[in-house]
Structure 1
Amino acid sequence: MPAITESHVIDSVADALQFISCYHPRDFIRAMAAAWAREQSPAARNAMAQILVNSRMAALGHRPICQDTGVANISVRIGVGARIDWHRPLQEIVDDAVRRAYRSDTNPLRASVVADPFGRRHNTGDNAPAMLHVEMVAGDRIDIDVSAKGGGSENKTKFAVLNPSASVSDWVVGTVEAMGAGWCPPGILGIGIGGSVDKAMVMAKQALNEPIDATALRDRGPATREEELRLEIMDRINALGIGAQGLGGITTVLDVKVRSFPTHAASLPVALVPNCAATRHVHFVLDGSGPATLEPPDLSDWPELDFRDAWKDARHVDLDHLTREEIASWQPGDSLLLSGRLLTGRDAAHRRIEQLLAEGRPLPVSFRDRAIYYVGPVDPVGDEVVGPAGPTTSTRMDRYSDMMIEGLGVSVMIGKAERGPETIATIARNGAAYLIAVGGAAYLVSQAIRAARVLAFEDLGMEAIHEFVVRDMPVTVAVDARGGSVHVRGPRQWRMPA
């Protein structure tokens, strides 16, 4: 048997990271299409349509599905009989693959990894290092799972050590209900039960790489306690009415994956890891014959649909002449098509603004009566003015709401997921509004951006303040000028009786 070399690993992992940036797994496309077909909530159905259209566009254009091209998660299972011909630590080898993939000239991916996590948090610039997990297993080959995990879903990871007599289902359902929409449903839940803290977390994350088979499982019936638990949790979560993007609907999870392991008699560790609507992973095997070959989905896997039908009655909004009176006329759930100039800014930019104000220094940009979009775009290629540019989770910006809305006069914010009660109160007090774009539709959103330039904080890279010129950018009113929230009304409407 020929040896498995460094180049086999580097070429395969780098190709896999590029591959998953553009292609949803085939089973995910089919599961999302089936969920879209049976969805009864117009808002959730529209959101799913955008996700599916974006997915097909990304595949055809070979550009990232989501602007958050994720941290590289690499799970390697090395057969004890495998012939290995490398002389460096596997971490170094895999990191070389990550650098190659994320620095690609033809499809650059957004570097999101920061060093010194509790200090300066400067960006490594190449998305290395990878999050690597290695196991020794039976056999004579190497199995590798490559996934890209975005911050929105990763940040919603939960862990608890329950009493051994507690209900895992109750804990998971209660936890998901409290998580909000920041993890970009509909997606997948990975659950690890037993083992230890670290074992449960690894099981939960690795379970996300398993094929989506909830429908087949339901058809044949569960054969194990894990399978019974999968269906129970899935049904209970979907009955919550959270729906796509938290807008209210009948599908919040497409599948629930459960792995278990023996544990201490006094403990019941449970880890919960969600995967968003930009679920991205691929599995391959190395046997010494060369790098892996990856097979993309077929165009027939996507349904034929046009999300624009749902926007034919949307209100057109001119951002350059927007008044507080017009903002006051918006209602939660209204569909808007934005045109004109808007600013961008997210975590690092908001921190920089806060620092400048604390030091009494002037700001480089006026925010008075402007719209700000929470986004960290991918670098453009070819004739693009900007790469994929979907929204980031808005709740991270809640701590800056008083500063931005009351202090600096921002009138409209655009992001994804819900806002906290204090931010909603600030919005209502100032007659502002909060709008959402669909998380997981970054390439689709970028098509509405006709011009882009950096206005301030260029050293922050993708977190710099840009000015975008947009035409017919699709958004939904999430919080209106009176504090009404679609993330409260939607799930309440679609929740099933207990």
Structure 2
Amino acid sequence: MRCVYAEDIEASLCNALQAASHTHPPDFVQALKAAHACETQPAARQALLQLLVNSKLSARARRPVCQDTGVVHVYARLGMDLRIRHAGAGPTPSLQAIADRAVARAYTEPANPLRASMISDPLGLRRNTGDNTPAVLHVELAEGDGLSLTVAAKGGGGDAKARYAMLRPSDSVADWVVSQLPGMGAGWCPPGVLGLGVGGTPEQAMMLAKRALFSPIDMPALRRRGPADATERLRLQVYERVNALGIGAQGLGGDTTVLDVKVLAAPSHAALLPVALLPNCAATRYVSFDMPADGPASFPAPDPALWHGIPDALPPEAGGTPVNLDTLDGREVAGWRAGQTLRLSGKLLTGRDAAHQRLAALLERGEPLPVDLRGRTLYYVGPVDPVAGEAVGPAGPTTSARMDKFLPRLLAETGLLATIGKAERSEQAVAAIARHGAAYLSAVGGAAYLVSRAITAARVVAFADLGMEAIYEFEVRDMPVTVAIDARGGVAHKVFRLHDGAR
């Protein structure tokens, strides 16, 4: 009987999570390069370039491609003839315990700390677990003595856009999928891959959709040879029809919204057609491997030639209007137009969900705020902790719509001038921005390490107990953004605005 040590499994999972945090799968980089080469829309082309530069720099620095380093999913295919042993004293830990130990090690690694996003007691105190545990573990028992593992770090932006429907057998799956994309908005940071689960039971369909994402991109080859069966026909139909919507990179309009469409199917009841949809974002992170015969698995870095032709920084021709945040006023903001690119320098504040709740409570009680927002710009971000030499760790934008219910009051009562985040805003937020002559700027989701290189200084100025959700003051130099909503209410995003409360 083959034996594998629990300690080797733990080390392998830890190594895989560290590698996935900073290095994209090679097929994903190649697909991004191809999308950038054929993109015809300037805003989307600029976003794709930022994603590629970020991918190159993150892999080189071994720092996360995105600040949301995800919920860890571990898929184990365990042979019935394999025995897992413990090298130390005491009983052999469960696979769940092994996975949790690996997550804790990977997310607290001093050389590359990852952001802990998992909270316990979701209906109560919602306390962060501190080390991103527990892992989400799925185990399949199989013949033989092998152990195959897939480790994925799934960010909140992708899972938040999950869709499920119970269709009739005569309904078109492609029609349903295409109908979902505009309402999903850009919070999943396109371009990415769509996973579809078809058939089975409701919970099986959702599992199939997620597992479908963990296979190499091969859409170019499929398009060249043509479909061989109904599954491949569905993949092609959805790919072509979704890209024809023109949503594009980051939802700013463009030729490529999805890089591939993956489908897994299972037998189902004759009267039912369960369908689930899950996207993989521009921070695609997964590793699949077989446990070696001896010792832990290792994950060597890809050949640097993978990023050949990608610059080490945004080139001067990427351009953008320079903006001094320290002297910014309403008159300058009024001159911006939706779709315009800017390069921000100076001081800005940060704040996301928890900080906004506290600010709102203070305003409700008529108490002073701990920071003066008048004339300031507020960035929706929860950064990764820095390592030596960094002002702050990877610090990409979070989904702005979560802050929409707070925005009208902040604009009306604090003199806040502009906000920065990712994806579209609700009708309520758009109206408030126009009413107060403010602006909303979009940074590229999935380009967090690139953004962090524009941050030259960072300090906590309020709510330090909130950790990554504290209010920071960043000093930035040439931070690239796009005007997503201008002071007149003009909107750059090519996706449906969210209706109030529908987020």
Q: TM-score range by the shorter chain?
A: over 0.9
- Matched to 2:159, the amino acid is E
1:304: which partner in 2? 309
1:454 matched to 2:454: no
Give 2:392's aligned amino acid: V
Q: What is the match of residue 3 of structure 1?
A: 3
Counterpart of 1:443, as a letter, is Y
Q: Secondary structure at the match of 1:3?
A: strand
**SS, match of residue 407 in structure 2:** helix
Deviation at 1:490, TM superposition (A): 11
| Matched residue count | 491
Looking at structure 2, the residues matched to 209 and 183 of structure 1 have their Cα atoms a distance apart, in angstroms, of: 17
Q: Write out per-residue CA displacement over residues 141-180 of structure 1, whole angstroms, 9 at most, x where no aligned residue.
A: 1110011111111111111111221111011111012111
Aligned ranges 1:173-188 → 2 under 5 Å = 173-188=178-193
Q: Distance in 2 between matches of 1:288 and 1:4?
A: 8
**Cα displacement (A) at 1:312:** 5.1
- The whole-number CA distance in structure 2 between the counterparts of 1:234 and 1:295 is 32
Give runs of aligned pairs for residues 388-407 of structure 1, distance below 5 A: 388-407=394-413
Given the superposition, is the C-alpha separation of residues 5 and 406 from structure 1 closer, same or farther in structure 2, using an over 3 Å criterion?
A: same
2:184 maps to amino acid: M
1:61-80 counterparts in 2 under 5 A? 61-80=61-80
- Which residue in the other structure is 2:246 paired with? 241
**Matching of residues 111-260 of structure 1 within 5 Å:** 111-260=116-265
Q: CA deviation at 1:288?
A: 3.8
- Contact 1:242–1:248 (Cα < 8 Å) also in 2: yes
Q: Which moved more, 1:280-289 or 1:38-47?
A: 280-289
Which residue does the alignment assign to 1:496?
Answer: none
Equivalent residue for 1:54? 54
The equivalent residue for 1:44 is 44
| Residue 315 (1) aligns with residue 331 (2) | no
Q: Which runs of 5+ in 1 are unaligned?
A: 492-498
Alignment of 1:426-445 (within 5 A): 426-445=432-451
Q: Find the counterpart in structure 2 of residue 21 from structure 1.
A: 21
Counterpart-to-counterpart distance in 1, 2:292 and 2:307: 32
2:82 aligns to what SS in structure 1? coil
Q: Aligned-residue CA RMSD in angstroms?
A: 1.5
Q: Is the 8 A contact 1:311 1:335 kept in 2?
A: no
Quickly say closer, same or farther: Cα 1:170–1:468, change in 2 above 3 A. Answer: same
Indicate the residue corresponding to 1:35 in structure 2.
35
TM-score by length of 2: 0.95
Give 1:107's aligned residue.
112
- Residues 69-107 of structure 1, C-alpha deviations (whole Å, 9 max, x = no match): 111111111122223225222111100000000000110
Residue among 484, 492, 496 paired with 2:490 = 484
Alpha-carbon deviations, 1:402-423, whole Å to 9, x = none?
1221122211000010111110
Counterparts of 2:158 and 2:411, CA distance in 1:
27
3-state SS of paired residue (2:74): strand
3-state DSSP class of the match of 2:383? coil
CA displacement 1:463-487 (0-9 Å, x = unmatched): 0000001111111100000000001
Separation of aligned partners in 2, 1:227 and 1:141: 30
Of all paired residues, the percent bearing the same amino acid is 56
Where do 1:302-381 residues align within 5 Å?
302-306=307-311, 308-309=314-315, 311=317, 313-381=319-387
After TM superposition, the structure 1 stretch with the greater mean CA deviation from structure 2, 160-169 or 248-257, is: 160-169
Runs of 4+ in structure 1 off by over 6 angstroms are none
What secondary structure, in the 3-state scheme, does the structure 2 residue paired with 1:278 have?
coil
Secondary structure in 2 aligned to 1:450? strand
Deviation at 1:489, TM superposition (A): 8.8
Give yes or no for contact 1:327–1:432 (8 Å, CA) kept in 2.
yes
Distance 1:248 1:314 in 2: 18
3-state SS in 2 of match to 1:320: coil
Is the CA contact 1:248–1:490 (under 8 Å) kept in the aligned structure 2?
no
Consecutive unaligned residues in structure 2, runs of 5 or more: 87-91, 498-503
Verify the 8 A CA contact 2:424 2:495 in the aligned structure 1.
no
Per-residue deviation at 1:311?
Answer: 4.9
What SS class does the counterpart of residue 399 from structure 1 fall into? coil
Task: Give 1:325 deviation, angstroms.
Answer: 0.6
Measure the CA separation in 2 of the matches of 1:120 and 1:405.
Answer: 29
State the secondary structure of the residue aligned to 1:193.
strand
1:416-427 superposed matches below 5 A: 416-427=422-433
Q: What letter matches 1:80 in structure 2?
A: M
Aligned to 2:389: 383
